[in-house]
Amino acid sequence: MTRRAIELLLLVALGAVWGWAQESPAITFAGALVGALAWTFLDGVRARRVLRWLNKGEATRAPNLGGVWGELVERCRKVIKKLEKKAQSSDARLEDFLAAIQASPNGVVLLDSSGRIEWSNLTAANQLGFDPQRDLGQYVRNLVRNPAFTAYLAGGDFGHEIQIDGPGPRPSQPTKISMQVHPYGKKRKLMITRDVTAVLLAEAMRRDFVANVSHEIRTPLTVLSGFVETMQSIPLEEADRTRYLDLMSQQAHRMQTLVSDLLTLSRLEGSPAPGPGEWIDAEELLSHVVQEAKGLTHAISPTPHEIERMTGPDLWVSGARTELLSAMSNLMSNAVRYTPGGGRIRSGWRLRADGWVEFFVSDTGPGIAAEHIPRLTERFYRVDRSRSRETGGTGLGLAIVKHVAQRHGGHIEVQSVLGEGSTFAIALPPARVRERVNG
């Protein structure tokens, strides 16, 4: 304050001295007045500089002033710096927060009071088919053109979620998106979206599976209870009784096989994959399943098949013995069951150039049309339904083979020519194979 007063006095005195030098009291007074005006002007210039700087609000470009203005500028500079720091840390927190929402597997869209997009993460944009940058500020109802969604937004009842079709990989394959709006703040809305395609698919598969199992069990059960009722109500000749009991036993056996295959599948799905611990003689597995197939062909076919065991490399394979045996014998029994009697079946191990090993079964059966091949390992998928039933098939054999192969790091391969025959193989990776050296 003193500095400003000294400046003012100095300028007034300077003006007065100049006026006094003119030897006129009036000019002396005028000189003092001009000095005072000059000081006011200079002070005004400083005030303007301060105001201009304050308007910009940048702490770094503070004007260099002395006296009370300098002090004022310094204090303001400190306050501005503090605010800048606070704003920076708020910005950083907001960035972190938005990055976290970006990383969310759920879609998040923020809508303003009139339903325009204020912010959206990439997940929501992909699920609903808009651009998270370009479409900011657009009305969401114009971007998501779905009658159910429009009615939901307009209805204002957000206590439940809705499901709509999202843009899928192809127009014929839309994804299913579940979404719910949560109102917040002043008429603002938070919209959460979720891709539920896989969940719905799994639910549909579970429903199909239950329906299939019920159907598979109901058929033999109906036959069985029909015979029971007949035997209870009508006195039967001994020959008829024996025939009925035989048929009943067949149906009971069919149910047993189905339940056993279902249990095998559920065990395969519910247990950890077998480690590489147990090394099994591949030839021993082969002779076991070949023996079994020879027994089966004599049991079901008037003219037995010619079953040939092919010689191959001398190998050990690692994995779960019971699982591998079950998968191999499923392939063998399919070959026997689907190839007409007298047909030729060959089976063995072969080592491929890439180090993988294959257990294969080829037959001279009816073959399988190409369109069926990708679906063969689906549960209850059958190409020849009646042949499968006649020969006691459950429709689960190849599903079991696929699971076993996958649990051992491998896969199932199918080659087939309609009318000529099929070759089924279980391919196992090099890590599961060891060639026997010196016996």
Q: Which residues form the interface with ligand ADP (CB under 6 A)? A: 330, 334-335, 338, 363, 365-366, 368, 376, 381-384, 388, 393-399, 422
Nearer of residues 120 and 330 to ligand ADP, judged by Cβ: 330
Check residue 116 and report its DSSP letter: B
CB of 385 to ligand ADP, least distance (A): 7
Nearer of residues 116 and 309 to ligand ADP, judged by Cβ: 309
Nearer of residues 39 and 338 to ligand ADP, judged by Cβ: 338
Give the start-end residues of each E strand in 39-145: 107-111, 117-120
Quick check: 304 and 341 in contact, CB under 8 A? Answer: yes
Side by side, the strands of the sheet bearing 433-435 are 279-281, 315-318, 433-435
CB of 297 to ligand ADP, least distance (A): 13
Nearer of residues 129 and 367 to ligand ADP, judged by Cβ: 367
Nearer of residues 47 and 370 to ligand ADP, judged by Cβ: 370
CB of 398 to ligand ADP, least distance (A): 3
The phi, psi pair for 305, rounded to 5°, reads -75, 160
Query: Which H or E run includes 360?
Result: strand 357-363
Q: Say how far apart CA 178 and CA 198 lie, in whole Å.
A: 12
Q: Say how far apart CA 170 and CA 158 lie, in whole Å.
A: 30
Q: Say how far apart CA 150 and CA 137 lie, in whole Å.
A: 18
CB of 427 to ligand ADP, least distance (A): 17
CB of 212 to ligand ADP, least distance (A): 12
Which residues make beta-bridge pairs with 426? Answer: 359, 412
CB of 276 to ligand ADP, least distance (A): 27
> What's the CA angle centered on 436, arms 438 and 320, to 5 degrees?
145
Nearer of residues 144 and 258 to ligand ADP, judged by Cβ: 258
Buried (b) or exposed (e) across 364-373, using 16+ Cβ within 10 A? bbbbbeeeee
